[in-house]
Structure 1
Amino acid sequence: MNTYSFLMLRLGIGLSMFGHGLVRLGKLSGFSKWMVGNFQNSILPEALVIPFSYALPILEFCVGLLLIIGLFTKKALLLGALIMLLLIFGTTLIENWDALPSQLIHLGFFAVLLNFINHNSWALDVSLKSKG
């Protein structure tokens, strides 16, 4: 993988996460109610679903923004992968098999980018490292 390929993949997954978070931030309460409704018949207690449903859009937005600008890239990739793992777990609990492929693809992007993190040349991380 070269630095341009890494940049395109980082921007792609970053924009996806950023967009997911951005559209949900404007309707946070409605998104939370929707998510709680989806999990009402699952084994997860509402006391776990509610805080996660409010945190998810904020985390998606932040991970996306960090990846777009290339700041704390490795940590953002790790957090993004953790988010996907949690979403995959939840998706399987409610048997939402249609959402699973998208989440697995996102997880795959995070894994590939983590594996090739040394190609992260077009990023604020690099600019800050060279100045410090």
Structure 2
Amino acid sequence: MSPETLDTFLSGENGMHFIDAGTTTCSDLLAGKLDVLLVHAQLGEHASRDTALTELARAFDMPRWFGHNWDALEDCLTDLEWLPEQPIVLCLIGALDDVADRDTLLDIVQSACRYWQDAQRKFHVLMDLRLKHDND
């Protein structure tokens, strides 16, 4: 992703963009973007649902009431009151073993993007190509 493409992505509507994590890093892409809160979640090569939820809880510094399930993740991603009020870029690197879990995670992240778009807060996601839906 070129710097121009990244700037266009970040200034546009909230959404997801897939990156080749083997050739670039989110930190490199966002270098110099001081107004953005980078939330980096490293899922690993073959993450389970539990591993993904634990890593996202760590990355977002989720509150203690986070229930470590998909519903709780969606609740937290549409709350975020414990984080500073600034644009957020979630960087999801790795892959989930289970296709249904991957699809659920992508649906939740996409839902969070829409929620924050309606709330007029920037929430963008840079995702590893290995998380891409087969029909994207």
Give the TM-score normalised by the residue count of structure 1. Answer: 0.36
Richer in strand (by share): 2
Higher alpha-carbon Rg: 1
Give the TM-score normalised by the residue count of structure 2. Answer: 0.35
Richer in helix (by share): 1
